[in-house]
Amino acid sequence: MLTRHAEVVIVGGGPVGMLLAAELGAYGVEACVVESKPRTTDEPRAGTLHARTVQSLARRGLMQVQAGRAQRAGHDREPFHFAGLPHLSITAPATEPPILVKCPQADLERQFEAVAQSRGVTVLRDSQAVRIAQDPDGVEVTTKSPQGPGQVRAEYLIGADGARSTVRDLCGFVAKVHPATVSALMGQVRLMDPAALAPGWQRTERGWTTARFDAHGYGRLMTLDCRGPHPDRGSPLTVEELSLEAARIVGHPVPLAEPTHLSRFNDFSRLVGNYRQGRVFLAGDSAHVHFPVGGQGLNTGLLDALNLGWKLAHTLRGTAGKDLLDTYDQERRPSGQRVLDNTRAQLALMRPDPQLDPLRALMADLLPLPDVGAYLGGMLSAQDTRYGDGDTARRDSGWRGRFLPNIALAGQQEADLVGLLARGRAVLLLSSGALRPPRPAQGWAHVLHTARAAGQLPSGITESAVIRPDGYVLWVSDDGDLGGVLRQWFGDPR
């Protein structure tokens, strides 16, 4: 039996697992990915990257999109929907990359895998984890592949292996679940009669369709039946069944042909009680799964990866506070819970019960209102995410725990904060008029990159701020003991 050694083993080579591998590789961490599929497949899955995901990937140098949207008039807001209802607009600061980026999940996976391998990460494809043993010093994963059994020994294990997670099951993670109540079908097909389906989200008294087809009739169709879950969830879906279900909902024939991918899904939801169990972590769908409305699932998983990667790297390199890894669950599980809650709320609003019509009409009136749009748009795009550290007074003060918008820098090779954070280090950001860095920061020069703003800092930051590697504000001037905060997050000074 071949035994491999790594610092971190990642079970699951989808976009979340490959992003984690790329992030760890950027810090020089020896990582190994165990993936059951022999290759990436192009089956249609998630394809929308929301604002906070795009902003975060840009800060890690993994999303080559143009920042500074102030020069691109009309791109500071994007139309979206809530529970299939139109007229919601998602906004973002004008200095940030585009609000929505369309990118097939398979393309993301390939991109992250290529980056990970260029950074020295080992990828074991066609390999399945069959046993996991954890001890005080590390984790051992036993694998099965066509080449025979193997083992990977590592200090930490991340389960990023999806909704049917082997890691979650083998390690006994406890989860809260909500059983399925609806049935949905999805197909990548050709629509033979363009007049048969209206584009976008459409509701009748019998259910929903959402359709997007090109001029030649090729595209994607989804149907939603709220009468109950699939009687046989595992039975193969045929194009004839999808055609009949669409016809039942819209009330006239919907001729379909040339299927390239067909699937069933439902609104089963699950959230594990803790994202960490000793040396084992869960990320992405292995930790949380929900009804796919609003395109939030992939984004939530990618943000899990961006939160965990730098914390694991600092821990392995001895530059982490003793409780740094615990903050992963403390910060990301509430975000997962919020996504589960808002998707369940949207589905409740989508049920085609006539008694809900007044509520839908009320929501349709509310969605265009700026305050309502800002609240719901911030929630769906994860731009309202704010991380706390248990200290209520500090958490509620100013910028701490919030994501700092991009700003221009002076005297740096990188023109702005987005470019500087791609180095992977925390940033001590000084105002243009600050005479010198705060004295307590001197002991942490090995983890902080000092930079100066070219113009004014955002309102509420007077002289300086510390920005985490993932873009969130860790400390601002007049916000308590800087040395204590840096010790808590990055360990002892040097």
Domains with residue ranges and CATH for the chain: 2-176+270-380 (3.50.50.60), 183-266 (3.30.70.2450), 392-490 (3.40.30.120)
| CA angle (340, 345, 346) in 5-degree steps | 100
The mean pLDDT of 405-429, rounded to a whole number, is 94
Say what the pLDDT of residue 389 is.
Answer: 52
- Give 142-195 pLDDT, tens digit per residue: 999 999 999 999 999 999 999 999 999 999 999 999 999 999 999 999 999 999
Q: What is the CA radius of gyration of the chain?
A: 24
129 within 8 A of 143, measured Cβ to Cβ: yes
Determine the pLDDT at residue 73.
Answer: 39
Output the average pLDDT for the chain: 93
Alpha helix (H) ranges present in 147-250? Answer: 166-171, 239-250
User: For residue 479, what pLDDT is reported?
Assistant: 82
Torsion of the alpha carbons at 378, 380, 383 and 386, rounded to the nearest 10: 100
Q: What angle do CA 361, 366, 368 make, to 5 degrees?
A: 115
For tokens 């409305």, name the residue: 293
The maximal CA–CA distance of the chain, rounded, in angstroms, is 73
Position 86, amino acid: P
At 311-326, the pLDDT tens digits run 999 999 999 999 999 9
Is the whole-model pTM more than 0.85? Answer: yes
DSSP string of 82-146, one letter each residue: ETTEEEEEEE--TTSS-S-EE--HHHHHHHHHHHHHHTT-EEE-S-EEEEEEEETTEEEEEEEET
Two tokens, residue 386: 């704010």
Report, as an integer, the average pLDDT of 268-281: 98
Residue 130 token pair: 């069959």
- pLDDT per position as a tens digit, 328-378: 999 999 999 999 999 999 999 999 999 999 999 999 999 999 999 999 999
Which pLDDT tens digit goes with each residue over 441-472?
999 999 999 999 999 999 999 899 999 999 99
In which band, very low, low, confident or very high, does the pLDDT at 70 lie, cut at 50, 70 and 90? Answer: very low
Q: What is the pLDDT of residue 67?
A: 47
Confidence of residue 388 (pLDDT cuts 50, 70, 90): confident
Interaxial angle between packed helices 326-350 and 370-380, expressed in degrees from 0 to 180 and rounded to the nearest 10:
120
Asked whether the predicted pLDDT for residue 68 surpasses 70, the reply is: no
DSSP 269-334: EEEES-SEETTEEE-GGGTEE----SS-HHHHHHHHHHHHHHHHHHHHTT-S-TTTTHHHHHHHHH
